[in-house]
Amino acid sequence: MIIEIRAKTMLSTVPGGDGYFGHRYNFNIYRGCEHRCIYCDSRSECYGIENFEDVLVKVNAIELLSQELPRKRVKGVVGTGSMSDPYTYAEKQYQLTRQALSLLARYGFGVSLITKSDMVTRDGDVLTEVNRSFASVCFTLTTTDDELARKVEPGAPSPTRRLAAMRMLADQGLHVGVTLMPVLPFLEDHLDNIKAIVESAVDHGAQYILPWFGMSMRDRQRSYFYARLDELFPGLRRRYEARYGLSYGCPVPEAKRLQAEFDQLQQKFGFGTRVPVPQKEPQQTQLRLL
């Protein structure tokens, strides 16, 4: 169900900046996500989203961003996509992410965006404008196997479509990469999968790959994940329970070995492992002396 809401604010500041994705500010236009990944951390109780598959649309997002962006004295890269996908299906109708990108371009901010959707290619033109400052699009890939992805990310466009979208944006001169996380224990934590993701990413223009060999699990997120495991992979829940108990951070059993193999692939192909935001000092908005 789509529910329209009015937000009080949009932009939050990331204390100290985000080391991986390089953003200083963050916003989320949608709450909830139609991609329905079975492992999604945003189902956790701390985020207070009761029905995660309902999408709450912040219909005044553009009005708020138009007020908040010009008020920021320090410009920088703005992140989006960590809590809900900016290209969830509602975006096709509302086009709020597109309008927000236009505002970032107008006020001289960059963007560091994470998505699982090829709908982002619709906005290649606006992203190119934002890229006068900086624009990065990170596609999340936890597997290259479309069949497995249909089970663990049932609402999201397939990995094949994500890779094709990445190629398209790379060819337009945008910064593109892969978020290789989470890696689901006992399902995705084998070397063939990691190699396939890395090699496909490189083939499709990825300049950086951000890995994390594990997943998080807590409260409502864990219950939902286990219920889906019971349907899709009967018996697997017991292996999770035995290994992780109530832990929040759940590294895959072979995390160190996979990291070492990943490091070798990184040396072979020479991609980065961070979003390459420009290192120059953040620009300050010119203050008029009265």
Residue 241 — left, alpha, or beta (φ > 0 → left; ψ -120 to 50 → alpha)? alpha
Q: Could you tell me which of 183, 111, 174, 176 has the C-alpha nearest to residue 142?
A: 183
Q: Is 118 in the site for ligand SF4 (CB under 6 A)?
A: no
Closest to ligand SF4 by CB, 140 vs 200, is 140
Closest to ligand SF4 by CB, 187 vs 265, is 187
> Which residues partner with 137 through β-bridges?
113, 176
Instruction: Determine the Cα–Cα distance for residues 109 and 272; give it in Å rounded to an integer.
Output: 22
Closest to ligand SF4 by CB, 69 vs 83, is 83
Q: Is 33 in the site for ligand SF4 (CB under 6 A)?
A: yes
Total residues interacting with ligand SF4, rule: CB under 6 A: 10
Instruction: Determine the Cα–Cα distance for residues 181 and 138; give it in Å rounded to an integer.
Output: 11
Closest approach of ligand SF4 to the CB of residue 113, in Å: 12
Closest to ligand SF4 by CB, 116 vs 204, is 116
Options 36, 167, 190, 237; binder of ligand SF4; rule CB under 6 A: 36
Closest to ligand SF4 by CB, 42 vs 102, is 42
Instruction: Determine the Cα–Cα distance for residues 158 and 140; give it in Å rounded to an integer.
Output: 11
SS3 56: strand
* Binding letters toward ligand SF4, positions 56-85, x by CB under 6 A: ----------------------------xx
Instruction: Determine the Cα–Cα distance for residues 214 and 6; give it in Å rounded to an integer.
Output: 35
Q: Is 37 in the site for ligand SF4 (CB under 6 A)?
A: yes
User: Tokens 């010009």 appear where?
Assistant: 70
Instruction: Determine the Cα–Cα distance for residues 77 and 101; give it in Å rounded to an integer.
Output: 12
Q: Environment class of residue 194 by beta-carbon count within 10 Å: exposed (0-12), middle (13-18) or buried (19+)?
A: buried
6 residue type, one letter: R
DSSP 137: E
Instruction: Determine the Cα–Cα distance for residues 108 and 74; give it in Å rounded to an integer.
Output: 11
Closest to ligand SF4 by CB, 42 vs 200, is 42
> Which residues partner with 25 through β-bridges?
13, 78
Closest approach of ligand SF4 to the CB of residue 40, in Å: 3
Closest to ligand SF4 by CB, 35 vs 222, is 35
Tokens of 227: 């219920």
Q: Is 111 in the site for ligand SF4 (CB under 6 A)?
A: no
Q: Is 49 in the site for ligand SF4 (CB under 6 A)?
A: no
Q: Which stretch binds ligand SF4 (CB under 6 A): 3-11, 32-40, 127-135, 192-200?
A: 32-40
Closest to ligand SF4 by CB, 31 vs 75, is 31
Closest approach of ligand SF4 to the CB of residue 257, in Å: 26
Options 42, 97, 133, 179; binder of ligand SF4; rule CB under 6 A: 42
Q: Is 29 in the site for ligand SF4 (CB under 6 A)?
A: no
Q: Is 156 in the site for ligand SF4 (CB under 6 A)?
A: yes
Q: Are 210 and 179 in contact (CB under 8 A)?
A: yes
Options 29, 40, 90, 194; binder of ligand SF4; rule CB under 6 A: 40
What are the residues binding ligand SF4 (CB under 6 A)? 33, 35-37, 40, 42, 84-85, 116, 156
